[in-house]
């Protein structure tokens, strides 16, 4: 191989690395619906990180990311699910994850829900993406029968996955929330 070809090959390889091969971002998007006046809940940045896993996280702290996301967004009262509730209601085994922050709207009527997860590997992250899609299917089935308005919110939800990180965002403010998430995660 001549010198030019060698340099071209090197350049191409560098370009491939810079464009982030190995991570896939999947989305389900449509326009956000109208926001309502609600109270935002700020989550402490280490709220859900067990001490042992904080050191092994390779990226941002999910609590901090969440706080950034809701900084300029009106949110309803959101309830942070503990480990047991994450498992029972969402099927998320947080013991298997590096980070897991899961919040749902606590009024029992709105479908707002946010997952911010860091898996130990990409394979687990992809499995979580499937779980998130299943969760959306269930929420969609429920809301189509008793709340068309909430059904529309579920239809607009986004699942964002890159590398070991996954987010599920169900909210009338999905676009704004997803935008901040992407920024914080360097997507």
Partner 1 sequence: MLKHLRKAGLTALLLLGLAGCGEVSRGAPTIPPETVHVHEYTQTVIPPSCTEDGYTLHQCACGDSYTDQQIPMTGHSYTPVQWEANCLEGEGIRYTCACGDSYLEQTSPPLGHQYAVEEVVEPEGEARGYTLHRCVRCDNSYRDSFTWSPEAFADFFEDAVFVGDSITYKMIYHNAKYKSLGNATILARGGVSLTTLVDKDSSYKLYYRGKISELEDIMTKCGGKKLFVLLGVNDVPWLGVEKTIQKLDTLVNNVLEKNPDVEIYLQSCTPIYLKREKGNLTNARLDEYNVLLKEYALEKGYHYIDIATPMKNEENALRAEYCLDQSIHVNDAGCAVWINEIKSYLYEENLYEQSK
Residue 84 engages partner 1 in binding (rule: CB under 8 A):
yes
Q: CA 116, CA 99: separation in Å to the nearest integer?
A: 8
Residue 86 Cα distances to 16, 43, 90, 97, 183, angstroms: 37, 16, 5, 12, 26
Please, which of residues 18-77 interact with partner 1 by CB under 8 A?
A: none
Residue 138 engages partner 1 in binding (rule: CB under 8 A):
yes
Single residue of 107, 121, 123, 149 touching partner 1 by CB under 8 A = 107
Least distance to partner 1 from the beta carbon of 15, Å?
Answer: 39
Instruction: Pick between residue 28 and residue 133 the one whose CB is nearest to partner 1.
Output: 133
**Total interface residues for partner 1 by CB under 8 A:** 26
Residue 131 engages partner 1 in binding (rule: CB under 8 A):
yes
Q: CA 90, CA 138: separation in Å to the nearest integer?
A: 10
Least distance to partner 1 from the beta carbon of 181, Å?
Answer: 23
Residue 106 engages partner 1 in binding (rule: CB under 8 A):
yes
DSSP letters, 63-112, are HHHHHHHTTTS----EEE--HHHIIIII---GGGSSEEEEEEETTSS---
β-sheet bridge partners, residue 160: 167
Residues that bind partner 1 in the complex, under the rule CB under 8 A: 79, 81-82, 84-85, 87-92, 104, 106-109, 131, 134-135, 138, 141-143, 145-147
């Amino acid at each position: 191989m001549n010198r030019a070809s060698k340099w071209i090959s090197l350049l191409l390889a560098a370009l491939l690395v810079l464009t982030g091969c190995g991570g896939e971002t999947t989305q389900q998007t449509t326009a956000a619906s109208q926001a309502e006046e609600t109270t935002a809940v700020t989550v402490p940045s280490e709220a859900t990180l067990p001490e042992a896993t904080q050191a092994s996280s390779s990226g941002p702290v999910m609590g901090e990311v969440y706080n950034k996301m809701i900084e300029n967004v009106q949110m309803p009262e959101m309830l942070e699910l503990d480990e047991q509730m994450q498992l029972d209601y969402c099927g998320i085994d947080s013991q298997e994850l590096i980070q897991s922050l899961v919040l749902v709207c606590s009024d029992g009527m709105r479908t707002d829900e946010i997952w911010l997860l860091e898996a130990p590997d990409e394979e687990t992250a992809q499995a979580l993406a499937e779980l998130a899609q299943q969760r959306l299917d269930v929420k969609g089935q429920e809301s189509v029968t008793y709340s068309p308005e909430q059904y529309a919110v579920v239809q607009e939800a986004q699942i964002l996955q890159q590398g070991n990180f996954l987010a599920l965002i169900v909210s009338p403010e999905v676009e704004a929330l997803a935008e901040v998430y992407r920024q914080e995660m360097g997507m």
